[in-house]
Amino acid sequence: MTGYQIFWPLLAHVALVYGLYALLGMRRAKMVRAGSIAKSDYRENRGEPAESLIVKNCLANQFELPVLFYACSILLYITEADNLISVVLAWAFVALRYAHAAIHVTSNDMRYRSPIFAAGYIILAAMWVWLAAWMAMS
């Protein structure tokens, strides 16, 4: 494959991050307009309302496990292991990140959020195993 196909899932994840930043801004603005919190309280992050805190936590989560996703995707490209298997795994990981984020910023129900996170964790592990296998076979 060794085109740019492996980078489309990364760009899709970047879109998710930007969307979450927009949602966080909207929810914070709504809270300020409603008088639930003063704008200055966000400067030192004191007492953030739950409605925006869950988005903030979701956003922070996009810079945890996905960091390994970015590293693996770039290494897959560099080693030319970015074939159909790795691209499908990458899209599956990103789809699960979208599902995880959707649950996180809505119901935040751990009964649904945890298994989706676990599935993404396993898929990302499979990407790393694929990279290791590819390098071992080369």
Q: Which residue has the higher pLDDT, 135 or 36?
A: 135
Please give the pLDDT value at position 72.
Answer: 98
Q: What is the 3-state secondary structure (H, E, C) of 7-39?
A: HHHHHHHHHHHHHHHHHHHHHHHHHHHHCCCCH
Long-range contacts of 104-111 (CB under 8 A, 24+ apart): 104/54, 104/57, 104/58, 104/61, 105/20, 105/23, 105/54, 105/55, 105/58, 108/54
Closest CA to 59 of 109, 27, 23: 23
Cα angle value 34/35/37 (rounded, 5°):
115
What's the pTM value of the predicted model, to 2 decimals? 0.94
Query: How far apart are the C-alpha atoms of 98 and 32, rounded to whole Å?
Result: 27
**pLDDT for the residue numbered 136:** 98
49 vs 20 pLDDT, higher one: 20
Predicted local confidence at residue 3, as pLDDT? 87
Provide the pLDDT confidence category of residue 119 given band limits of 50, 70 and 90: very high
- Give the per-residue pLDDT at 36: 86
Q: Report pLDDT for 1.
A: 67
Structure tokens at 75: 């290494």
Query: If DSSP codes are grouped into helix, strand and coil, which group holds residue 44?
Result: coil
Q: What pLDDT sits at residue 2? A: 65
